[in-house]
Structure 1
Amino acid sequence: MYADAHRPYLEEMKPYEELVEEALAASFSGWDFGWLGYRAVSADLSWSYDRLARSALEQATRVLDIDTGGGELLASLAPLPEATIATEGYEPNVPLAQCRLAALGVDVRRHGVLDPLPVEDDAVDLVLNRHGRLEAPELARVLRTGGVLVTQQVGSRNHADLNEALGAPPVMLAAANHCEGAVNALHEQGFEILEAAEEWPEFVFLDVGAIVFHLRAIPWQIPDFDVDKYEPALRALDQRIRTEGPFVAHNHRYLIRARRQAR
């Protein structure tokens, strides 16, 4: 199916060396995958995180966005409440988020990997978290009674088929990083679960350059990824795409909406 749909592109595909060289030269900042264009496309989830976040924002007065990246998604949800905080732990992203979100009145705060959230106790009534750290005790600390969490997470089986195709070790996300484990952790901290769902949508790569760019952008998928080290496997995957059609991996995503109950 995918081979037929993309036959013109596959027939005119650039040589392996050129695809890889372009992917290595491409810049990546914040959380912008625009360079990939149509060359790497994910199937839709049954839910829309953006829609759920916008709906929750209508009822919120004090908001926290965890691991905001370069602030791209949060900015797209404007208008935002005046008391909105965004945290970010990846140092190069902090100035990008500050620049993008300053005009929206967002307070961008650095968040060290092992540090508590830089937010006071009972400070917010809505936490947004798209693919950020999900620490149930910290969420319980910063959310007021009745406060709401809306989160979409990357599960531990994300793109496991890509690691397998390249002969790389399994993805180094916690093996328990799945919907049931997260729901149980939130229950233990006094949350009422309003909605929970988990899906594995297809993620289609049209060429090996898209795969290289993708792995550079998310280094935790294959921590030791290097095009020279993985050249034989990359060339084999390149040839497989040219003969059989696009490579299909699978995302692992789960959604949780939860409310902080009285302590």
Structure 2
Amino acid sequence: MSDQQMRTFEELLAEGAAVPTEGWDFSWFEGRATEARPSWGYATALAGRLDRAASALDLQTGGGEVLDFALARAVRRPAPTVATEGWPPNAAKATALLRPRGVAVVTSPEDAPLPFADEAFDLVVSRHPVTAHWSEIARVLRPGGTYFAQHVGPGSGYELVEFFLGPQPREQWEARHPDRERHAAGAAGLETVDVRAERLRMEFHDIAAVVHFLRKVIWMVPGFTVEAYLPELRALHERIVAEGPFVAHSSRHLFELRKPHG
């Protein structure tokens, strides 16, 4: 590798490491990484669900970007509309974004019981929850209420994960299989209305995009830092320079579940 290439590699690492990671705004990746979107258009579909809801809860809202997008396109806002977020920097960002729309953001750890009364909402939504706590979702839903969410599916981005960590146990990927989640939801008393699944192409065009992605989506390579994975990052940079974008595949599934009456 030439001195110029070495400087470019170092500059890209520094750039990827410097980008703020709060929230779920992925606009920084434009021109540097791409991910195909599911055909069902979750955020747009969510706007229609909000139009028909009397009260709504958005779980693990991140920076509030998806809920904000949906509310901007909804004809009306359910009252109340509440969001939860467990990471304080995201909660602060979500509060600033959603407060003008009349949405309260509650800082609540992802693994804690939801701080709401039984049967408080007729719509519970979430985009990419780290974990779906089905018993709590069922508890806060009113009879006849709906859980509408887009989840990360099995083996999402595994090509990138295994580049850094080596082959991973298949059972680790299967933990997010929609059939397993549907069974767990059913055990909590929720009926399946619709489940759809798609696998979608991802491309990383430079190593800065990889660094920022792994810093932002922290469960992909737990404990990721540039320093800890410098050899792998260098090898991947050289591969991208020589062969073009690194290709991986995301996995997404859409859930529509209902809490039955009585």
Q: TM-score, normalised by structure 1?
A: 0.89
Shift of 1:168: 4.8
Q: 2:68 aligns with which of 52, 75, 90?
A: 75
Amino acid at match of 1:184: H
Shift of 1:69: 1.0
Shift of 1:53: 0.9
Q: 1:18 aligns with which of 11, 28, 36?
A: 11
**1:115-154 counterparts in 2 under 5 A?**
115-132=112-129, 133-154=131-152
Residue matched to 1:215 = 214
Equivalences, count: 252
Shift of 1:156: 3.8
**1:25-64 counterparts in 2 under 5 A?**
25-64=18-57
Q: Deviations over 1:211-238 (max 9, x none)?
A: 0010011111111212122111111111
Does the CA-based 8 Å contact 1:143-1:260 persist in structure 2? yes
Does the CA-based 8 Å contact 1:61-1:125 persist in structure 2? yes
> Structure 2 stretches of 5 or more lacking a match?
none
**1:1-263 counterparts in 2 under 5 A?**
15-78=8-71, 79-132=76-129, 133-168=131-166, 170=168, 175-263=174-262
Please state whether the residue corresponding to 1:233 is helix, strand or coil. Answer: helix
Cα pair distance change 1:163/1:213, threshold 3 Å: same
Does the CA-based 8 Å contact 1:167-1:233 persist in structure 2? no
Shift of 1:30: 1.6
What is the identity percentage for the equivalent residue pairs of Structure 1 and Structure 2?
39
Shift of 1:262: 2.0
Q: Distance in 1 between matches of 2:96 and 2:244?
A: 41
Shift of 1:82: 2.4
Q: Distance in 1 between matches of 2:37 and 2:218?
A: 23
Q: Distance in 2 between matches of 1:62 and 1:152?
A: 19
Shift of 1:175: 4.1
Does the CA-based 8 Å contact 2:153-2:251 persist in structure 1? yes
Cα pair distance change 1:240/1:180, threshold 3 Å: same
Please state whether the residue corresponding to 2:231 is helix, strand or coil. Answer: helix
> Structure 1 stretches of 5 or more lacking a match?
1-11
Amino acid at match of 2:34: V
Please state whether the residue corresponding to 1:252 is helix, strand or coil. Answer: strand
Shift of 1:174: 6.8
Amino acid at match of 1:239: E
Q: TM-score, normalised by structure 2?
A: 0.90
Amino acid at match of 1:176: A
Amino acid at match of 1:33: F
Q: Deviations over 1:117-165 (max 9, x none)?
A: 1111000000111012311111110000110111111124111110222
Residue matched to 1:5 = none
Shift of 1:16: 1.1
Does the CA-based 8 Å contact 2:186-2:192 persist in structure 1? yes
